[in-house]
Amino acid sequence: MSAGAVQTGRTAALVVLGGMVAALHLGKLPPALPALQADLGISLVQSGFLLSMVQMAGMLLAIFVGLAADSAGLKRSMVAGLSILALASVLGGLANSAWMLLGLRALEGLGFLLTVLSAPALIRRLVAPERLAGMLGVWGTYMPVGTAVALLAGPFVIPTWGWALWWELFAAVAALTAWALYRWVPADPPAPAVSQRSPAWARLQGTLSHPGPWLVALMFSVYSSQWLAVVGFLPSIYAQAGVGGALLGVLTAGAAAINLVGNLASGRLLQRGWAPEHLLWTGFASMALGSALAFAGWTEGQPWLRYAGVLLFSSVGGLVPGTLFLLAVRLAPGERQVATTVGWAQQWSALGQFFGPPVVAWAVARSGGWHITPWVTGACCVAGAGLAWLAGRELRRASAR
């Protein structure tokens, strides 16, 4: 491997690190909620809004932020996003009210979007085509790694040093990462001349008029809705079963972190010639089976079998996002519409995360138990499998052009 290829690989890895740092800011809040409720008097409802604010930002703004990133430059957008995260986290550590923290959480949502929507297109620019699938599989680990690190570290840091220092720590990490990206990632290429530049509205219309971005977005939605519903309710489920303390944190963080296994495997398998739709079918089938093991009535009284089902659900299910990031790059209508396509996918992913847990909670409340969960997740998996078939057909059409 040439020195240039090694350097490019390291630069792409720095981009992945930027995504993980952005995900840290999503994961920093849950372990801090008890301290925030005690210090600032934050209510349960306000806590819920703090948790959902990033999903709200993604649900409303993701495609427009992706469009702005395509226009402003990918490196500039990532550096700006991490800088916004650093600023909002610094100010958040000084917050003295729930409303101030809520407003800064919305600002963090914008910083998060600017960071992660630019990254896949930037990775595409930095790595050779034969290495793209593998590196995008690595990129797919940014969310489980970042959130798992925060979930694991929070219970050790916050009781000793306080939630304010926890916020300032992440501000420093984001600022340092922004500087590293500014220092070592190659500059954005010159923007096209005005006469050659398509208006933002035309690029947005061009993205949404193609079926590829819609298929990727809808699959992200049916994936993220069930993943967050299952993993997000684990603390409540295990607390009801009498599990608490450090074991509860380890079990929840482990279920989130193991998602990176499927993400990494997807890149390797795509490089070896596996068809994307086959990986998607495997991922969705494993999520359906894992959910059945985790929640079906016949596994009641077998906690470790149920937890094995959760691990199967999250780990092999990780094939789905890793594959979808590659499809977002390949099915984007053009080079300067990749971030817009990823933004549209992120918007639908946020939509799924926003509505998935309430739908599962409603179904559980109506049926009187968690045994109904596999029916909800199974329906999502069937829809995902059908969309995967359509995406594979669209990818073959795009390759034939």
Residue pLDDT, tens place only, 100-125:
998 999 899 999 999 998 999 899 88
Burial of 292 (0-12, 13-18, 19+ CB in 10 A): buried
pLDDT tens-digit series, residues 248-297: 777 877 888 899 899 889 988 998 889 999 999 999 999 999 999 988 88
User: Sorting pLDDT into bands at 50, 70 and 90, what band is 302?
Assistant: confident
Domain spans in the chain, listed from the N-terminal domain onward: 1-184, 198-401
Burial class of 117 by CB neighbour count within 10 A (0 to 12, 13 to 18, 19+): buried
Say which range, 39-43, 195-199, 211-215, 262-266, has the weakest mean pLDDT. 195-199
Cα–Cα distance measured from residue 267 to residue 201, given in angstroms and rounded to the nearest whole number: 33
Q: What is the gyration radius of the CA atoms in the chain, in angstroms?
A: 20
Percent of the chain at pLDDT above 70?
Answer: 90
Asked whether the domain spanning 198-401 has the same topology as the one spanning 1-184, the reply is yes
CATH of domain 198-401: 1.20.1250.20
With contact defined as beta carbons under 8 Å apart, do 320 and 216 qualify? no
State the pLDDT at residue 241: 66
Number of alpha helices (DSSP H) and beta strands (DSSP E) in the chain: 18, 0
Please give the average per-residue pLDDT across 185-209, as a whole number: 71
CATH of 1-184, one of 1.20.1250.20, 1.10.10.60, 3.30.365.10, 1.20.140.160: 1.20.1250.20
Residue 332 DSSP label: S
Q: Which amino acid is at 46?
A: Q
Look at residue 129 and tell me whether its pLDDT is greater than 70.
Answer: yes
pLDDT over threshold 80, residue 238: no
Higher-confidence residue of 235 and 161: namely 161
